[in-house]
Structure 1
Amino acid sequence: MAKSFVGPFIVTFAIALFVLLMQILWLYLDDIAGKGLSFFLIMELLAYKCVGLVPLALPLALLISSVMVLGNLAEHYELSSFKSAGVSLLRVMRMLIIFGAISAGVSYLCSDYIIPAANLQFGARMYDIQQKKPTLNMEPGVFNEDFNQFTIRLGDRGDDGRRIEDVLIYDHTKANVGELSQITASNGEMYTSDNGDFFIMRLYDGHQYIEQRPSGREGRSAPFMRTSFDTYTKVFDLSEFQLEVHATSLFSTNRSMLSTWQLREGVDSIATDIAVRKQGLSNHLLAYLPQLPRDTITYRVQQNDPLAFAGADTSLVVEVETTEADSMELLEAAYRPLHAAPRPEERGYTSDSVRHRFLRERQAELETRRAARFAEARRHPLVVGASPWHGVRSLLDSLPKSDHSRIYNRARSSIRSVTAQAQSTLRLLPGIEESRVKHVYDMHMKYSMAVVCIIFVFIGAPMGAIVRKGGFGYPILVSIIFFVIFIILTIFCRKLAESFVVSGVFAGWLPCLILFPISLWITYSAMNDAKLVDTDRAKNALRRARDSKQVAALRRRIAKS
């Protein structure tokens, strides 16, 4: 079984990898064509992309090869001989199951360690290629705009590629100040420098025309300048046509370039970002409703936070009950400068074990200041005049009429501020949540793509026993059907996760959850010698229907007689 399986597996894996690679290559063909890339650079890009397609090609190769091997055994009645000797189908499949388990491990290791590095290099190289200009191409009778702010047209070009005639150059380097320049020459030559860094055009017997924008108070036109030359040399920099190499760290945060532990950290970071934005919206209301409790949970430690110390738990929340004490003492505590508080070293807190006590004291001090401000706000005329409460109109009647307009304007401004903050948060949160779902989905798809290798063994091998055909005919047809179903389920589940219909975890495992019962049913059917299309039941049903009609007709004849 091992010998008969390895050959078809290697061949089908190579074919699947080639087909998937050609499908992906069409997406980047426009970016690669015409850039003058070397053969080795193109092979490097293909190698990076091939590594990324291994987890997708392994299940397809396992599916096709297992159908081929078991179909070949069933076609030559070798599988029937095994069953006659008392060997079960699962024992025949044992070597294929081992291959599937090994392929699952290889798929996961490749997805978690090799593919992130390969995608990082591929993304960086493709960005360099996309930024590179196409190869310089000077064709006669065509306006060339490859050089920045220059347009060149050649009337004719010699067979040696060096001699040129009827040259026209438009210079727009000073167009922003209203100066246009045009150079014409009857003939000349063009070539590159020895190191290939510069493109040189040496022109003979030509003219240069310069036209300037009218300037001055009265808008007097500047003189039109015409210059004749016997020899004119124009040097162009070719650095913009060279392939620049950017740092790969610029692309290291993309999801396809992260391993599972990095995706897990990304999910935690995004969840923290969502919590911070919700906390910001909640605490924004305190500027208008100071009676609300403040959310004091610290999700991220800031470097300039006076409460953040090494080893200190900055998420500690201390509830402090305050009463209405002496107003002067509370006001003094409320408006004391924050930087005037002594640091832990000044209070004698030198060890990490007592820093928590300092944090509690400092938190209690901040809560005391908050309570003092709250006590001061309660003595405000707006609050005092609202007792007993008879509505906004009674509160306004307690104030001078000259202040009504100002209060209404401030209320409208506060409502607009709170509404704008809430709408901004509502606009940003769905995008952040979608990014978190994508991270979760990609993380679990690494596991799902490994598990599906084993599931496809339990689909392909029994289907080969049922089809009873070897070679590349029926096996490929059957395999493609199941593989297309898997791809459709994968795309459909991704859309469901991005639409927040299901969670990212469930969406990542849903294709396996759907295919696993199908694999069990196909394996059970193959163990019971099921056929691909069971026509016996249909024939028996038709025979019973025909017999029942004949019996009914005979009964009618007997009844008439």
Structure 2
Amino acid sequence: MKKIHLLILKAFIRPFIVTFFIVMFVLLMLFLFKYIDDLIGKGFEWYVILELLAYQSAVQISMAMPLSMLLSSIMTFGNLGESYELVAIKAAGISLRKAMTPLFILVGLFSGGAFLFSDYILPVVNLKMGALLYDVRIKQADFLIKPGIFNNTIPGYSIRAKGKSKDGKILYDLMIYDHKSSNTASNVLLAKEGYIYNSPDNNTMILKLKDGVRYEDSRARNAKVYNPRQQFTRFYFDETEQKFDMSAFQMKRTDENLFKSHHMMLNLKQLRQYTDSNAVQMDSLRRTVFKEVQSYYYHFNDYYKAKDTLLSPSVPVVTYQHGFIEAIPNDKRTMAINSAMNQVRYIKDVLNIKANEDTFYRDKDIRYNIEFQRKFTLAVSCLLLFCIGAPLGAIIRKGGLGLPVVMAIIFFLIYHIISTVSEKSAKEGNIDTFWGMWMAIFTLSPLAVFLAYKAATDSALFDIEQYRLKAEKAITWIKNRFGARSRKVVQARKSLHDDYTLSS
């Protein structure tokens, strides 16, 4: 390998690593901002948060890899162009295409690794990430007592304390409303002091109360008969314990098998299997619809055919002025109309139910196909954005994090917007899933070819005079082409006119 190749590889790998981690950090911050309400105040252990961030980092590779590829390629060739190293390379007789050959191989390896990652690792990561995020979001916030404020997080209880110790374990002047048995607070407990601690399995919170009284409303339990002598019951105590069920506040891990059939948790082989089974279910559903409906159709159809065959040619054809209903006797018309309406309603209900089921299976088929195509578009997008960024950096000849970042964001936003809009259209069934997933790549591929041509020929990208000259040349060619054709048409018409004049 030549020293020039080593120079370009070293110049590319360092910006790629830096930009990759910067993009990954930004995407993780966006993830935390999105789910900050589901993470704060729930008492998660540090390893749970770290596990969630690790899974999210792996999921975000599908977006971080193409963006860092684009940004690092612009920075690399921008720095080489700004320091006139590209000029020296071309002066040594090495074209830009030959100098970029090791980078193409390296980016191809990265793209192949991205494809293998999206097929083998990403489905497993999505499965674990989805199960963990589901458990994190359904977990309730930790039980927290604030002085002077009622806490209603424990179902069936309202707890208030006027004060608490610095460590939060001892509460003073407690008031506890128990309304588990009814909507009204028929059971009230007052205590001067309470000590909080958890059971060994952390599923129960125990509140040891001292020097208090408990009030119970007897009417809430007994019959609805007013008894003025037995309205309230008081229990005085020196020390007692109140237990609260805290199992809802504990994080429980959901079985991952419940999420395995989701389209984002499947690899290529599994996607093919699920797509085939879904197609079999769709075909079975449509055949079932035909069998359920055809009995009503063929019943009347066979009846009419039988009536036609029984009629002899000598029997005159009867015409009805107000429709076929005139053929039904008057005493049976109401029954026949009601029967027909009931059958129409039944057929309509069957078709509506089957249409909803068919829509469900069709949406599943679309999502399976979209995820199947996504496995390939991730790898191809890395190649495409590198082919855009490398010649663009050689053209603008600006390094650092200024103009390259702006250009990278612009082109990546164009790619991302086209990809998002086309994918949404594919999910809605407006376009085919293949075109929906590959639309951005097919749209930007001519731009990559154009930039590569500009970089190879050392021509300016924003040379307005050059574009004006080419436009004038194209307009002149069109005028000459169509002008010559129009002159030929005029001459032909004139010759025909002269021949017609002579003959007349």
* Pairwise TM-score range, normalised by the shorter structure: 0.7 to 0.9
The answer to whether structure 1 residue 445 and structure 2 residue 374 are counterparts is: yes
In the superposition, the TM-score normalised over structure 1's length comes to 0.74
The answer to whether structure 1 residue 461 and structure 2 residue 390 are counterparts is: yes
The corresponding residue for 1:317 is none
The answer to whether structure 1 residue 113 and structure 2 residue 120 are counterparts is: yes
The corresponding residue for 2:139 is 132
Q: Distance in 2 between matches of 1:213 and 1:74?
A: 85
The answer to whether structure 1 residue 416 and structure 2 residue 424 are counterparts is: no
Q: SS where residue 297 of structure 2 aligns?
A: coil
Deviation, structure 1 residue 535: 6.0
Q: How many residues are matched?
A: 457
The corresponding residue for 1:261 is 269
Q: SS where residue 284 of structure 2 aligns?
A: helix
- Residue type of the alignment partner of 1:103: F
Q: Distance in 2 between matches of 1:180 and 1:24?
A: 45
The answer to whether structure 1 residue 239 and structure 2 residue 239 are counterparts is: no
Q: SS where residue 274 of structure 2 aligns?
A: helix
- Residue type of the alignment partner of 1:423: N
- Residue type of the alignment partner of 1:448: T
Deviates most, 527-536 or 132-141: 527-536
Deviates most, 391-400 or 500-509: 391-400
The answer to whether structure 1 residue 248 and structure 2 residue 256 are counterparts is: yes
- Residue type of the alignment partner of 2:440: P
Deviation, structure 1 residue 540: 10
Partners of 1:186 and 1:206 within 8 A in 2? yes
Deviation, structure 1 residue 139: 1.6
Q: Distance in 1 between matches of 2:62 and 2:100?
A: 22
CA RMSD of aligned residues (A): 3.1
- Residue type of the alignment partner of 1:531: A
Q: Distance in 2 between matches of 1:394 and 1:497?
A: 47
The corresponding residue for 1:550 is none
Deviation, structure 1 residue 100: 1.5
The corresponding residue for 1:94 is 101
Describe the shift of the 1:404–1:533 C-alpha distance in structure 2 as closer, same or farther (beyond 3 A). closer
Q: Distance in 1 between matches of 2:181 and 2:310?
A: 70
The corresponding residue for 1:208 is 214
Partners of 1:286 and 1:292 within 8 A in 2? no
Partners of 1:378 and 1:384 within 8 A in 2? no
The sequence identity of aligned pairs, in percent, is 30
The corresponding residue for 2:34 is 27
Q: Distance in 2 between matches of 1:283 and 1:466?
A: 66
Describe the shift of the 1:63–1:154 C-alpha distance in structure 2 as closer, same or farther (beyond 3 A). same
The answer to whether structure 1 residue 7 and structure 2 residue 42 are counterparts is: no
Report 1:47-196 matches (<5 A): 47-175=54-182, 180-194=186-200, 196=202
Deviation, structure 1 residue 190: 2.5
Report 1:486-501 matches (<5 A): 486-501=415-430
Deviation, structure 1 residue 50: 0.9
Describe the shift of the 1:398–1:4 C-alpha distance in structure 2 as closer, same or farther (beyond 3 A). closer
Describe the shift of the 1:379–1:259 C-alpha distance in structure 2 as closer, same or farther (beyond 3 A). closer
Q: SS where residue 289 of structure 1 aligns?
A: helix
* Cα displacement string for residues 259-279 of structure 1 (whole angstroms, at most 9, x for unaligned residues): 122223333333333333322
Describe the shift of the 1:436–1:382 C-alpha distance in structure 2 as closer, same or farther (beyond 3 A). same
Describe the shift of the 1:48–1:162 C-alpha distance in structure 2 as closer, same or farther (beyond 3 A). closer
* Cα displacement string for residues 271-307 of structure 1 (whole angstroms, at most 9, x for unaligned residues): 33333332232222233123599xxxxxxxxxxxxxx
* Cα displacement string for residues 355-377 of structure 1 (whole angstroms, at most 9, x for unaligned residues): xxxxxxxxxxxxxxxxxxx7xx7
Partners of 2:320 and 2:326 within 8 A in 1? no
Q: Distance in 2 between matches of 1:394 and 1:94?
A: 81
> Which runs of 5 or more residues in structure 1 are unaligned?
294-373, 542-561
Q: Distance in 2 between matches of 1:399 and 1:170?
A: 74
Deviates most, 69-78 or 204-213: 204-213
Report 1:135-534 matches (<5 A): 135-175=142-182, 180-194=186-200, 196-211=202-217, 212-213=219-220, 220=226, 223-230=230-237, 231-290=239-298, 401-534=330-463
Partners of 2:178 and 2:185 within 8 A in 1? no
Deviation, structure 1 residue 440: 1.4
Q: Distance in 1 between matches of 2:414 and 2:307?
A: 71
